Chains A and B, each alone.
Chain A
Amino acid sequence: AQSVTQPDIHITVSEGASLELRCNYSYGATPYLFWYVQSPGQGLQLLLKYFSGDTLVQGIKGFEAEFKRSQSSFNLRKPSVHWSDAAEYFCAVGGNTNAGKSTFGDGTTLTVKP
């Protein structure tokens, strides 16, 4: 069965500092990996996704993520956090024969200090 673990429930960083959100997955085949962001009371929005090719993927809002097969990880990074990045972040995994389904992690809440 596939699963996603986001080890950090809550992270606080200062504005302008760098950010890394961790994601570990379990999937029996080649994974499709996603990061989504959710602002309070809103739906989720895709930040970036990895299907194949270059293991470092760029997304919107200055985010990037690196797929490391050997570590079963897909960590999200941003070099300089802005106050508007405060939100909840979800990692998700799917695959090429998955009836279109994704499995989501429990999320990491990001707080940005001024």
Chain B
Amino acid sequence: SQTIHQWPATLVQPVGSPLSLECTVEGTSNPNLYWYRQAAGRGLQLLFYSVGIGQISSEVPQNLSASRPQDRQFILSSKKLLLSDSGFYLCAWSVRGFSGSTDTQYFGPGTRLTVL
């Protein structure tokens, strides 16, 4: 069966410090991968998605970047965190559809990031 891992589970970082959040998927190959941010009491904002190794699409301009060094590894980074980067970060994967179609997304447990 497929599983998705995120770490760390919680993180408290000072403003201006770097960030690295990691997401790995097991039990599937060639997945689509996604990073979302969920601010308190808000919906999900898609930050990045990837359809393959080294292929990253950014949905919104921001202080963050993403990389996909391996097929089932997705990393979210920042060189200098801002207060506004605080939130709940969710990684998700989906089966890569034949025609790029949307399918069920499977979410990780999330990382709670607090920037002070």
A residues near B (Cβ < 8 Å) are 32, 34, 36, 41-46, 49, 90, 94-107
Contact of A106 among B43, B46, B57, B101 (CB under 8 A): B43
Complex Cα gap A106–B34 (Å)? 18
- Given A44-B90, A105-B43, A106-B43, check contact A100 B107 (CB 8 Å): no
A104 & B43 in contact (Cβ 8 Å cutoff)? yes
In order of increasing CB-CB distance, the 4 nearest A-B pairs are: A94-B102, A43-B107, A106-B43, A100-B32
The number of inter-chain residue pairs (CB within 8 angstroms) is: 76
Complex Cα gap A49–B94 (Å)? 14
A107 & B112 in contact (Cβ 8 Å cutoff)? no
A104 & B109 in contact (Cβ 8 Å cutoff)? no
B105 & A102 in contact (Cβ 8 Å cutoff)? yes
Any chain A CB within 8 A of the CB of B99? yes
B46 & A42 in contact (Cβ 8 Å cutoff)? no
A96 & B102 in contact (Cβ 8 Å cutoff)? yes
Chain B residues contacting A41 (CB-CB under 8 Å) are 88, 110, 112
Chain B residues contacting A104 (CB-CB under 8 Å) are 43-44, 46
Binary CB contact string for chain B from 83 to 116 against chain A (1 if under 8 A, 0 otherwise): 0000010101010110111111111111010000
Contact of B107 among A44, A49, A97, A105 (CB under 8 A): A44
**Chain B: CB-nearest residue to A103:** B46
Contact of A101 among B46, B99, B110 (CB under 8 A): B46
Any chain A CB within 8 A of the CB of B74? no
